[in-house]
Amino acid sequence: MANEGGSDFARSMSIATSGLRAQAGRMRVISENIANVDSTAPTSAGDPYRRKVPTFSSALDRTIDAKVVTLGKVRADQSAFRIKHEPSNPAADAAGNVKYPNVNPLVEMTDMREAQRSYEANLNIISATRRMIQRTLDILKA
């Protein structure tokens, strides 16, 4: 019975840890999007940075016999670029328009906050599990 509880603790920790890793990866992608919000192509013929969208996948971890989450493929957002009329910009086309990344800072900040909350929730699970393990050990010592 104690061994079963130990494996439950390990399972909880592993699942929460996979969530931490996935959300950390999501935050890296969002950070890259935010960092490139105003970047333009070096020439008028090129395209600027294209927003990246993280995806998640779940897989069975056979060592703990539980589903865990991982950061899946990072896709390119195929939505239209933002266009600004800036004839003096070196990246302007013949009509004076410049293509800017299809990144909306408000959307990115909202996604970042959601990722942070998910990260914190997984961290809280790990902390709670550690406290339960410590209490179990304290009871066994008594």
Structurally, the chain folds into a number of domains equal to 1
pLDDT of residue 45: 84
pLDDT of residue 48: 96
Round to whole Å and give the CA distance between 73 and 68.
16
| Both structure tokens of 87 | 């004839």
Q: Name the E strands within the chain.
A: 52-61, 66-76, 82-85, 97-100
Look up tokens 């304290």; give the residue: 138
Model pTM score: 0.84
pLDDT of residue 66: 87
Q: How many CB atoms lie within 10 A of CB 61?
A: 15
Q: What is the mean pLDDT of each run of 10 residues along the chain (142 residues)?
A: 62 93 97 96 89 94 89 96 94 93 97 97 94 92 86
Q: Which residues of 92-130 are buried (b: 16+ CB within 10 A; e: fewer)?
A: beeeeebbbbbbeeeebeebbeebeebbeebeebbeebe
Domain, as residue range, for 80:
2-141
